Amino acid sequence: MVRQIIVILGDQLSPDNPALRAADPSQDIVLMAEVGGEATYVRHHPQKITLILSAMRHFAQELRENGWTVHYTTLDDPKNHQSLGAEIIKIAAQHKCTKITLTEPSEWRVIDDMTALPLDVTLLPDDRFFASHGIFETWAEGRKALRMEYFYREMRKSTGYLMEGEKPTGGQWNYDHDNRKAAPKDVTHPGPIPFTPDEITRDVIALVQARFDTHFGTLQHFEYAVTRANALRALDHFIAHALPRFGDYQDAMLRDNRYLYHSVLSPYINIGLLSAKEVCDVAEQAFKDGHAPINAVEGFIRQILGWREFMRGIYFLKGRDYVQSNYLEHDRPLPDVYWGGDSKMLCMTKAVEQTRETAYTHHIQRLMVTGNYALLAGVDPHQVHEWYLGVYADAFEWVEAPNTIGMSQFADGGVVGSKPYVSSGAYINRMSDYCKSCAYKVTSKKGADACPFNLLYWHFLMRHRNRFANNPRMAQMYRIWDRMDPDHRATVLAEADAYLEAEVPRTDH
């Protein structure tokens, strides 16, 4: 008689999964299921689907080798109901077992599906994060504004990372001012380790190609790690070869170098192949050993201990309706350029091209290129949210939605950020080499060759002047605008209007 069924989700592939720790392999069985519904509720990138399915199959194999009984439903099983809930009900009936245990899912959608099952369902707290829901709620209670920087400082104190007693190592909490160097002429790091697909992964690739060939993205060069052993190799490679220069160039972009000194470890952390703690541990040790400078290590740890934890806290604090936020009332459809449509903007073309071919771009490409463009153009933030959720290998709603709805699109009205992250083409020019080869001229403020970011930047500010004119971080830009020649201002706004109607028309995609 089976005592309970342990459900393992595709982003819970950790040996220290709380549900596994609470189970007995001599009495309990593990259920894992590949279901079409999880691949299509948004149209996920084929490489993302392949990563998760292959990692699931490898994890199931490792569980069996460690003495677990695993019931595994493959995507192409003719008896597969293609719904996680339906598969759980089916397997529970087969084993005459009504007790289901799993680690709390990371998305409201799945939590609601699991708690609605006509079974005895137990959701265990996901303690693979540094901050529990309770810790974040206690920190947030009574605050007028929720700012990552202050949450991050509390996390540093509670974990002890880069701390000397009660003070931060080096005397500063963050080293952002050291981490905004323009793109280097030469990058000495070859990028993350490419992993050659094994037989299991090749089978998954063939399956995904057959089932999801209409989804945006290619599978020609699938190189992700799909096992914990290889994810650890990827971590070691980053620490040894890229971390020392990560800080300096973490905001830089190069048209012919997709990774610079970025780790590309977020997919592995987010599906459980690596733990956030072990990644922060080895990064801190690299500083202690004198291998990497404080600005690099602090900047890297902040992305995990700060932003990653803060995003999860916001997602669960704000609840199920957060993803529907639209504070700025933007309503234009996502332009075709996001699906690979023709565009004269080299920065957008390169970011989308990389997304299609690798299911990855780094955070500045997402925030200040594709995100900035959507915000300036007034694109419906929910469409932007679904695009990011679908096309990136590391995107799960708990971390993607606050980054998109909050930080990128300011659709939450300032819950995450104190101002919209908008910029003209000057920022992209300073941090990349895109503008040198673009058909538009970043130095042109108006006219046929003017960079669209230059036109749309002022258009955005004028559309939302009532909202932002008194924002202390934006008031200076309105003063600059007011000092411009009236004819120049009228031309800029008219050309921006014409551009939007031509490139981002209010019609269905």
CB atoms within 10 A of CB 303: 17
Same domain assignment for residues 172 and 259: yes
CA 333 to chain centre: 21
Cα gap 462→449, rounded to integer Å: 22
Q: Per-residue pLDDT averaged across 137-145, rounded?
A: 97
The pLDDT of residue 506: 86
Cα gap 325→10, rounded to integer Å: 27
The pLDDT of residue 2: 86
Q: Is the pLDDT of residue 18 over 70?
A: yes
Where is the domain boundary, 289, 318, 347? 318
439: helix, strand or coil: coil
Q: Following CA atoms 495, 496, 498, 501 in sequence, which dihedral angle do they give, to the nearest 10 degrees?
A: 170
The pLDDT of residue 509: 42
Strand-pair category, 163-164 with 29-33: unpaired
Asked if residue 373 is part of any domain, the answer here is yes
User: What count of Cα atoms within 13 Å lies in the side-chain half-sphere of residue 486?
Assistant: 0
Q: Per-residue pLDDT averaged across 118-136, rounded?
A: 98
User: What is the pLDDT confidence band of residue 205, given thresholds at 50, 70 and 90?
Assistant: very high
Q: Is the pLDDT of residue 508 over 70?
A: no
Same domain assignment for residues 374 and 272: no
Same domain assignment for residues 42 and 66: yes
What CATH number is attached to the domain comprising 176? Answer: 1.25.40.80
Q: Is the pLDDT of residue 74 over 90?
A: yes
CA nearest to 384, candidates 392, 374, 394, 396: 374
Q: Is the pLDDT of residue 177 over 90?
A: no
> How many domains would you assign to the chain?
3
Q: Is the pLDDT of residue 68 over 90?
A: yes
What CATH number is attached to the domain comprising 108? Answer: 3.40.50.620
The residue type of 487 is D
Same domain assignment for residues 305 and 445: no
Per-residue pLDDT tens digits for 486-502: 999 999 999 999 999 99
Same domain assignment for residues 103 and 42: yes
CA 206 to chain centre: 26
Where is the domain boundary, 318, 349, 377? 318
Q: Per-residue pLDDT averaged across 163-182, rounded?
A: 94
Where is the domain boundary, 124, 149, 175? 124
Q: Is the pLDDT of residue 141 over 90?
A: yes
254: helix, strand or coil: strand
Asked if residue 486 is part of any domain, the answer here is yes
Cα gap 124→102, rounded to integer Å: 6
Same domain assignment for residues 116 and 144: no
Q: How many residues does the chain have?
A: 509
- Return the percentage of the chain with pLDDT > 70, whole number: 99
Domain boundaries, position 393: 336-503
What's the predicted TM-score (pTM) here? 0.97
382: helix, strand or coil: helix
For residue 248, what are its two tokens?
Answer: 């300096």
- Return the percentage of the chain with pLDDT > 90, whole number: 97
The pLDDT of residue 263: 98
For residue 488, what are its two tokens?
Answer: 């120049």
The residue type of 403 is N
For residue 133, what are its two tokens?
Answer: 């829901």
Asked if residue 235 is part of any domain, the answer here is no
The pLDDT of residue 185: 84
Lowest mean pLDDT, pick from 10-24, 26-40, 150-164, 177-191:
177-191
DSSP code of residue 227: S
Three-class SS of 301-342: HHHHHHHHHHHHHHHHHHCHHHHHCCCCCCCECCCHHHHCCC
User: What is the pLDDT confidence band of residue 183, given thresholds at 50, 70 and 90?
Assistant: confident
Q: Is the pLDDT of residue 1 over 80?
A: no
Same domain assignment for residues 362 and 385: yes
Average pLDDT, the chain: 97
Asked if residue 34 is part of any domain, the answer here is yes
For residue 385, what are its two tokens?
Answer: 């949210």
Q: Is the pLDDT of residue 447 over 50?
A: yes
Asked if residue 325 is part of any domain, the answer here is no
- Rg of the chain (C-alpha set): 24
Asked if residue 218 is part of any domain, the answer here is no
The residue type of 261 is Y
Same domain assignment for residues 283 and 409: no
Cα 286-290-294 angle, rounded to 5 deg: 75
Cα gap 406→325, rounded to integer Å: 9
The pLDDT of residue 394: 98
Same domain assignment for residues 144 and 66: no
Please list the residues that pair with 259 across neighbouring strands.
none
Asked if residue 52 is part of any domain, the answer here is yes
For residue 126, what are its two tokens?
Answer: 């996901």
